[in-house]
Each structure stands twice: as C-alpha cells, then as structure tokens.
Homo-oligomer: A and B are copies of this chain.
Amino acid sequence: MNVFLSQQNYHVGNFQLNKDKILGEVERAKNAGADLIVFSELSICGYPARDFLEFEDFIAQCEAAVLEIAAYSNEIGIIVGAPTRNPIKEGKDLFNSALLLYSGKIMGQANKTLLPNYDVFDEYRYFEPAYEWNTVEFKGKRIALTICEDIWNLGDNPLYRICPMDELMKQSPDLMINISASPFDYDHDDDRKEVIRMNVLKYKIPMIYCNAVGSQTEIVFDGGSLVYAASGELKKELKYFEEDRCLISTNDLYNPSPDSSSSASRVGKDMRVAKSTDPAQILDYLTNDHNIDQVKSALVLGVKDYFQKMGFRKAILGSSGGIDSAVALCIAAEALGADNVTAVLMPSQFSSDHSVTDAVALSTTLGTPYHIVPITTIYESFLHSLDPLFANTPFGIAEENIQSRSRGNLLMALANKFGYVLLNTSNKSELATGYGTLYGDMAGGLSILGDLYKSQVIALARFINQQSNSIPEHILIKPPSAELRPNQKDSDSLPEYEVLDRILYLYIERRKGPQEIIQSGFDPSLVMRVLKMVNMNEYKRNQFCPIIRVSTKAFGIGRRMPIVARYLS
C-alpha cells in the first residue's frame, strides 16, 4: 500500500481555504499513485479552533467540508481530522475524530481518547473521550488509527488511566497511523521521536505520524512528520517549519532487523515539563545553538503566519537601540521582508546618543525604513498638564511611564494611520518581573520575544550575527537600560540576568517552589523577591498580547494564574 503523508498549514475556521489545500494535495497524491493520503489532526477546521467548536454553525460547516472532500475519495483513501458528533446524549456532544474517507463516503472513524487539557490545551472543554476502540480496515490492512495524545501514555507514570493503543492491539493491527497537532518547543522534536519509537518497539508494527505545521496565534506547529518501520528504524522525517509531503510504501516498513534498544528516559507526566537540568547548566541549555536555531525558525514562522492569516502585510516597532528591539527587528524583517517593517526611534531627554545611532545603523544594515520622532515635547506637555496635581512630588515611576506610554501612543497612531501592526519587543525576563510599562513598551499586537529570557535574546542576537552580522556590535555589548531616567540600568531594579533567568526558569518552566530553588544554590532573599515579582505582576501579563510560544511554559494561554491572590506575593 502506498501512503502519501502531507503536513499542511491550515487557517482556523477558513473552511474554503483548508478544503482547497486538502483537495489540491489529494490530486497530487493520486498522481503519485497513492492508495491513501493522511492529513493532520482537525485539518478540516484548523487546530486549535477553541470556542468556535461550541457553535452549531461551525460544526455544520465542518461536516459539510468533510462530505465535499469525501466526494473526491473514489480512487484514494483520505484520512482527515474533524470534530464529529457524539451519537449518544450522555457526555459532551463532540468527538475529536480521524475519518477515513473512501468510495465517496466516511468508511472509518477513530475518536480521540486522551484529551490533553494542560498548558495551552483545552480539549476536554469540547470533546468527549472515546470509550470504544476499533481498528479501521483499508485495502486489506488493519490500521490502528489514533490522534495525537493517544500514543503518549507510556511509562509507569502515565497521565491517563487508559492506553488506547493497548485496546487497539486486541484487534491485531498491521500499522499505526497517528494524526497530530503537536506544537513546537525546543525539546519537543526529540520527545516526539522517542515516543513514536517507543510505540513502535512496544507494539512491533510501523507508525505513520502526520503532524500539522504553521503558527496559530501563539502556538507554532513545527511539522517534522515521521515514518517508523516496525523495527524501530526512522524511515522518513518531513521538514520542520514548512509544508512537506512524501510517498511511502508500507512494504518498506516491515524490515526484519528489530532494533529494540530504547533510550527512553522521560515519558509519562515528566515529558510535559521542560527537561530536567542541573542549575549550573540551565543557561547553556536555554542558549545552546541547536535550541536557538530552532527558536529562530519558530519565531520567523510565527510572525509570518500571524500577518498572512490576519491579512496584514506591514509591521511597525519601536527601535530603542537595545538588544531586544534589534533582535525583534531582525526576525520581523526576515519574516515579512525588510521593506515591510518600519522602525520608529523615539528619543527623549534621557536617551543616550547611541540609542539613536545604534538603531539607525541597524535599520541601515537591514534595509528597514525608519522614522525618528522625539517624545520630548509630548512628555513635557503631559508634565505641564499634570503640574497642578504633581506639584512637589519627586520624579518617579509615574514620570518614567509617561514616556513609555507616549511612545506606545505614537506607535499606535502610526499603526492606525498607515495600517501597520505594532510588534512588541518585550522579553520573558521583563514580563516575568513586571519590568515594563502597561500600554507603553508592553503595547503591541504580537510579542516576538516574550517567551525568550534575556539570556536567550542575547544568544539569539549572537546567532543572528553569525549568520548575517546585521546587529551592530555596540548593541550587543552595552548594559541593558530602559533610559527613562538619567543613567538608569536594568541592574538598578533587577538581579543580573544570568542569575535572574535561572531562578525564573526553575519557577516558571519547572514549577519549583521557593525551598527547592533556594536549595539549588540561590540566595534565599533574592529567590523570594523574584518569585514575588513574578506573582505580583500577573495583572500586567494578563493584558499582554499573544506571545509566540517556544518553551514548554510560555506566558499566555498556557499559564493560567489567579490575579487576585496571595501566594508567594
């Protein structure tokens, strides 16, 4: 049997586009002599469709699209992902299903059993878990058809009390096919390969694994679809961060030399947190070239898809001469084309000369248009208007934030006037500690760097310079500063980033408590101070834009904290 594996980039709710993409690929597969074509999880409507799934109209459109695609299945089997209706009244009304279309109709169906509901996932909000398991027959092959999480319940500490593949094995399948929407983080490609290999070694049949690709608001699906032979040998790995496809003959997947060695180290619940690392090695782990390289690809795709799918073309951002805005500008220019990214330099009386010269040099190298709009007179007009109320109070946070919010206002005015989207340049260390101004430097429609600690932004800057040398060296070496008061440095308010980022990582990615972090060798009062900063600033992050997610725990929809609370705060 020839199977065509296709990883595509869908647009949530855009039934016409998704259907056209799928049918185009069906045609291609037919021409290639495929018997069966496999698409990813919820390919019909895009993943994640979130609360659109609560609309009867949306589900009806999914059903209509499935039937239209089925009409093209006379000569080829088509496996697509779609929500389907639970035929019984008890339980939730929908399943998350894989459908086998053939001979013009739905010939087989598998419903997802294990519904991820952690981090960015909310599947139990919408779907009833499958409660019966049957293989699907196609051209003499018995297929164990599963959906994403269904194959992840391995090891002796599993997240779910049931293992759907164990159930399916009772019917002696010849082949596993798994359709997924498995997002990127800088550990996840290795985990994915390991899980699939472990399934293959456990069940001793091949696995064809189809992942989605493309960015959906904050979640980047990285593709990298896989084919493993029954022996445990990796036969095919599709590209990462782009659409890709391949044709495989299942005959080639039953080679006789089983490789039963398994390096499985972290499965079960552990797989869902960041890799365990020695505190001394956290920075190396966060900033090594392999991870930074992948992160860069994810960010470029994240920006590109946001604009393309929202129907925007042009971006604007504040370019301060600092490293965050420099890296953000490089990523945006690569994603959208340098012409389409306008940098705005907005110096004040507190700005250093190099804030302008460095930002100009950067835009000149990159070829991004730029404007200089000083904020001095705007800032003074605010102070003047507030003078009756501010009289005899010392310069403080209020005055600093006026500057930052005046810049936000200028950037949004330009965005509104000329149809730009404002890109945000805050990093994860700042967002974690609340070191940023709501409606000021925290403004924007999409955050490029919000899931990168400052140490990672610096590593990404060096990585970019290895490739293109586009960031002026002075931007890389000067001490970070918000330049909102004379001679200000980040280190006046925050611990050094090498220390801060490690504490933050242990707290955010690893969910360690204060005692555990202190026992890793950090100063107790510093640890308590940092955790308090994180927890007290939940209200700021709550109003922040979507962040392109690259870690196992990004701020945003995957981290849901109470705002009104008193815990470590």
A217 with B12, Cβ < 8 A, contacts A91-B161, A398-B416 known: no
User: Which of A396, A398, A565 has the most CB atoms of chain B within a 10 A radius of its CB?
Assistant: A565
* Contact across chains for B216 and A564 when beta carbons are under 8 A apart: yes
Q: Which of A82-133 contact B (CB under 8 A)?
A: 89-93, 117-118, 122, 124-125, 128, 131
A13 to B566, CA, bound (A): 5
Q: Which residue of chain B has its CB nearest to the CB of A386?
A: B413
User: Contact size class for A?
Assistant: 35 or more
* Contact across chains for A90 and B158 when beta carbons are under 8 A apart: yes
Q: Mark A506-533, 1 if CB is under 8 A from B, else 0.
A: 0000011111100000000000000000
Closest CB in chain B relative to A43 CB, distance in Å? 15
Is A371 located at the chain interface by the 8 A CB criterion? yes
Which listed residue (B46, B118, B409, B515) contacts A406, Cβ 8 A? B409
Q: Which residue of chain B has its CB nearest to the CB of A93?
A: B269
Closest CB in chain B relative to A261 CB, distance in Å? 25
* Contact across chains for A565 and B14 when beta carbons are under 8 A apart: yes
Is A557 located at the chain interface by the 8 A CB criterion? yes
Is A562 located at the chain interface by the 8 A CB criterion? yes
Is A314 located at the chain interface by the 8 A CB criterion? no
When distances are taken between beta carbons in the complex, the residues of chain B under 8 Å from A438 are: 412, 443
Is A57 located at the chain interface by the 8 A CB criterion? yes
* Contact across chains for B159 and A92 when beta carbons are under 8 A apart: yes
Is A375 located at the chain interface by the 8 A CB criterion? yes
A58 with B11, Cβ < 8 A, contacts A89-B157, A546-B542 known: no
Which listed residue (B58, B117, B386, B402) contacts A117, Cβ 8 A? B117
User: Which of A48, A413, A542 has the most CB atoms of chain B within a 10 A radius of its CB?
Assistant: A413
* Contact across chains for B439 and A414 when beta carbons are under 8 A apart: no
* Contact across chains for A56 and B513 when beta carbons are under 8 A apart: yes
Stretch of A169-177, A239-247, A377-385 on the interface side? A377-385
* Contact across chains for A416 and B439 when beta carbons are under 8 A apart: no
Q: Which residue of chain B has its CB nearest to the CB of A153?
A: B90
State the number of copies, please: 2
Which listed residue (B309, B398, B413) contacts A564, Cβ 8 A? B309
Is A64 located at the chain interface by the 8 A CB criterion? no
Closest CB in chain B relative to A14 CB, distance in Å? 4
* Contact across chains for B413 and A382 when beta carbons are under 8 A apart: yes
13 contacts between A and B (CB under 8 A): A13-B567, A50-B562, A51-B561, A56-B511, A122-B122, A216-B562, A216-B564, A309-B565, A310-B564, A377-B384, A378-B378, A386-B413, A393-B417
Using a CB–CB distance below 8 Å, which chain A residues touch chain B? 11-14, 17, 46, 48-52, 54-58, 60, 89-93, 117-118, 122, 124-125, 128, 131, 156-161, 215-217, 269, 305-306, 309-310, 371, 373-375, 377-378, 380-382, 384-386, 389-390, 393, 396-399, 401-402, 405-406, 408-410, 412-414, 416-417, 438-439, 443, 445, 511-516, 539, 542-546, 557, 559-569
Which 7 pairs between the two chains have the least Cβ-Cβ distance?
A: A57-B513, A13-B567, A398-B417, A398-B416, A439-B439, A381-B381, A12-B565
